[in-house]
Amino acid sequence: MNIKIICVGKLKEKYFKQGIAEYAKRMSKFAKFQIVEVPDEKAPESLSNAEMANVMDKEGQRILDKIKDRDYVYALAIKGKERTSEEFAAEIDKLTTYGHSDIDFVIGGSLGLAPEVLQRADTQISFGKFTLPHQLMRLVLSEQVYRAFMINIGSPYHK
């Protein structure tokens, strides 16, 4: 199984890198785990709607270039479906049982995900209505994917 988090921008904070590395190490017995960073589009602070769409489109194309045709794609979006950890674990288990060995999670840039990325996604997932820094979301997502594996093997980690 291959788990890939595709995200916009570089992760600079050492403490986030260390946390993600820890979950990647723990997940290595279940899946190949990787983070794929695509460059964010440089833009001024205040943008017109057209400029925002242009930035999202450019970042979106970079994201789509990293997704293979057969990959199952989760787009992280505030308007996505919220799941409990148990529901998420059951989804991952079902996907792997039915032949989806490549699962991608997409985290957009500060403006969100381009419509084309949302259309390509097989499902949208939300971690609530809070706005979280994209760097922190990488760590939270890594932990939740690890938790899903632990739930699926019946580990007490989830308790």
Task: Give 22-63 pLDDT, tens digit per residue.
Answer: 999 999 999 999 999 999 998 778 888 899 999 999 999 999
Q: Which residues contact 53 (CB under 8 A, 6 or more apart)?
A: none
Pairing of strands 123-126, 102-107: unpaired
H-run or E-run covering 73: strand 72-82
Using a 10 angstrom Cβ sphere, with 0-12 exposed, 13-18 middle and 19 or more buried, the burial of residue 59 is: buried
pLDDT mean over 5-28: 96
For the stretch 109-142, pLDDT in tens is: 988 999 999 999 999 999 998 888 889 999 999 9
**Is 76 annotated for ligand binding?**
yes
C-alpha dist (Å) from residue 75 to 9, 18, 104, 156: 16, 24, 8, 28
pLDDT at 87 exceeding the cut of 90: yes
The three-class DSSP label of residue 3 is strand
**Is 47 annotated for ligand binding?**
no
pTM recorded for the entire structure: 0.94
How many whole angstroms separate alpha carbon 126 and alpha carbon 34?
21
